[in-house]
Structure 1
């Protein structure tokens, strides 16, 4: 059965922001989730000359794989989320924010300079830190006590990820980009993919689990 997230009328941008691995599939298919991200999945498939059913099946495979790979025990899943995503986001943003500032400063006059990226990354850092700190101090302990969890509001995070895609032209490196610019976009691709995977694990796997 196809997940409701993959309904043909849902936008490419929304799917890319919520499903880990979807951004990679869209890049490989030359489907933009930046400027063209407001197209529906059906419209994007038609524009790219792809069969909608085949594209949807590839995306559904990602959902099935994510469910199979998640630790089955809730304490193990929470530990995995904190170590693999919370700690990693904090470390990588600490590296990427000054790197983004350097690229904007040095290459600000370039037509494809990611102007506004530093500000977007700082907003992402603050947004994630607020969510992660609340989870670590209150929400995760409550889940482990068997109290369950309410669905989180991820609208702000998705909006910031969209801003990052916009200002970086979907992480497209210009011809002849320097080493710093290349390292920045390599790190950003991993960060953005990780954020989507992190929130998916929480929203679609951890939080819906019944209280112990």
Structure 2
């Protein structure tokens, strides 16, 4: 990800750094509607010393890629099994659960109106994105293709930006994934699942943008 600083926006940090979104939620810092706010401003508004918040984020950055395999072939396999398969499985039950919560609690002021639609849009774009990686980009990497690989990598980076917009929509319609008092079991399970899905997706994109893709952009095709 881009270098962390107090001049970074909270939206950029939440989209690129695994764990940052949950940290911001804990401090009541909005990164969807108020996402253009600088980290320094957001910290002061939340009553936190900017340097202390930056230190917490730097700790997250140091551990962001710690659990991923080092070798490129192993990293690709990790992305396929840990993230591609998991996203598909989780969206398959989160979407109908979101539909149920919207249908039953649509009149509640905290209802996540529009959530199922946002998840369907994310599913459709993510499925297309992952298929391109599985059928085109990852095989090119495993073959060691060089000159022609820059275009699909650039396309995947652009599609990651689109996925970030879906994450911001989800954050917005769920009011920061904050459950109302007395939320039922279905609503609670939905938001628990969404926290994992959104965090997984940020980690997935981080591993590709910051770890895997630069190896090929720099010509370091170590399989």
TM-score in terms of structure 1 length: 0.94
Q: In the alignment, which residue of structure 1 is the partner of 2:138?
A: 140
- C-alpha distance in 2 between matches for 1:104 and 1:83: 31
Find the counterpart in structure 1 of residue 48 from structure 2. Answer: 50
TM-superposed CA distance for 1:144, in Å, is 1.1
Output the aligned Cα RMSD: 1.5
Q: How does 1:26-45 map to 2 (within 5 A)?
A: 26-45=24-43
Whether the 8 Å CA contact 1:112–1:174 is kept in 2: the answer is yes
Give the equivalent residue in structure 1 for 2:106.
108
Does residue 189 of structure 1 match 2:195? yes
Q: Residue 145 of structure 2 aligns to a residue in which SS?
A: coil
Aligned residues: 210
Alignment of 1:4-153 (within 5 A): 4-147=2-145, 149=149, 150-151=153-154, 152-153=157-158
Q: Which residue of 1 aligns with 2:169?
A: 163
**Distance in structure 2 (CA, Å) of the matches to 1:61 and 1:141:** 34
Q: Return 99-108 or 37-46, whichever deviates more.
A: 37-46
* Cα drift, residue 168 of structure 1: 0.2
1:78-121 Cα offsets, whole Å, 9 max, x none, are: 11111000000000000000000011111111111100001000
Q: Give the CA deviation at 1:31.
A: 1.7
| TM-score of the pair, normalised by structure 2 | 0.89
| Partners of 2:7 and 2:21 in 1: CA distance | 17
Q: Distance in 2 between matches of 1:97 and 1:33?
A: 23
**Contact 1:34/1:169 (<8 A) preserved:** no
Structure 2 CA distance, aligned partners of 1:52 and 1:205? 28
**Alpha-carbon distance, 1:5 to partner:** 4.0
Q: Which stretch has the larger CA shift, 101-110 or 35-44?
A: 35-44
What stretches of structure 1 of length at least 5 have no aligned partner? none
Question: How far did residue 160 of structure 1 move?
Answer: 0.6
Counterpart check, 1:211 vs 2:221: yes
DSSP-derived class of the 2:65 partner? helix
* Runs of at least 5 residues in structure 2 that lack an aligned partner in the other structure: none
Whole-Å separation in 2 of the counterparts to 1:195 and 1:182: 20
Displacement of 1:156 after TM fit?
1.0
